[in-house]
Every structure is written in C-alpha cells, then in structure tokens.
C-alpha cells in the first residue's frame, strides 16, 4: 500500500507541481541546492527538528531563509506569524506565488521559482 502524506492532500494542484517537495532534505542540503538558484527560488522539505513538520527554504538577496509551516488549532497551515491559514501546504505555496511573503526580511518576495526534485 502506498503511504501518502495527509498534509499534501490536494485537489488544487496536480502531482507534477508538487516536485518542489524534497522530503528529508537537510537545511544545509537545501542551501546547497538554492546556492545555484536565483532570488525567490524555493523548496519545501521535512523539518529537521520535528518529524511531522515541514519547512520552506527560500533564496533571498541576503542569502537563505528557512520558515516552518505551523498548524493552527483547527489543523490548518500557516507560514510565519501573519499568514492566513490554508487547508494544505500546496495551497499555501500557491497563494504566495502571487502574494508577498509576510515574513520579516522577505517582505518584497514571492515564491517565483520552484526548485524541482530531479526525477530520473
């Protein structure tokens, strides 16, 4: 039986567009990938500090930013402190492709360039 992440249940996006999800990638590995990318490039990975949490890694003009997705009491996803809540992580990502991030140090940035998992 295939194991699916409940957090990635989606109607909004096709599986192809989830290639920005890199799974168990470390913070330093994420930075290595983002080094080769331009500003506003991003990926989502498993959090290193908490097994069931996820982090967004972003290339900014200052270098790299890592933001954890938090969950509200009703189980919806929030990015940073001031994000509106969303039902799934793909919906958060989709929203911030057209809206500026509510994150200190990234106020002028959107998620423009997904760093895709390279499939063989």
Instruction: Locate the domains of the chain by residue range.
Output: 6-114
- Contact call for residues 67 and 58 (beta carbons, < 8 A): yes
If one compares 1 and 59, the residue with the highest pLDDT of the two is: 59
Superfamily of domain 6-114: SH2 domain (3.30.505.10)
Q: What is the pLDDT of residues 32-55, one digit of tens each?
A: 999 999 999 999 999 988 877 899
- Does this model's pTM top 0.85? My answer is no
| Range 56-60 average pLDDT | 96
pLDDT digits (tens, 9 = 90+) for 60-103: 988 999 999 998 889 899 998 788 999 999 999 999 999 999 88
* Position 14 confidence tier, pLDDT thresholds 50, 70, 90: very low
What is the Cα–Cα distance from 49 to 61, expressed in whole angstroms?
26
Spell out the alpha helix ranges (H) of the chain.
27-35, 89-95
Per DSSP bridges, beta strands 54-60 and 41-46 are antiparallel
Q: Are 54 and 60 in contact (CB under 8 A)?
A: no
């Amino acid at each position: 039986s295939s194991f699916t992440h409940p957090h990635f249940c989606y109607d909004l996006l096709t599986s192809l567009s989830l290639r920005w999800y890199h799974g168990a990638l470390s913070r330093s590995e994420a930075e290595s990938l983002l080094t080769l990318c331009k500003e506003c490039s991003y990926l989502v990975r498993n959090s290193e500090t908490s097994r069931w949490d996820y982090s967004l890694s972003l290339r900014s003009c200052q270098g790299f930013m890592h933001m954890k997705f938090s969950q509200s009491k009703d189980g919806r996803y929030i990015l940073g402190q001031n994000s509106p809540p969303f039902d799934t992580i793909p919906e958060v990502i989709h929203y911030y492709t057209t809206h500026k991030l509510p994150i200190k140090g990234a106020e002028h940035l959107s998620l423009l360039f997904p760093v895709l998992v390279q499939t063989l």
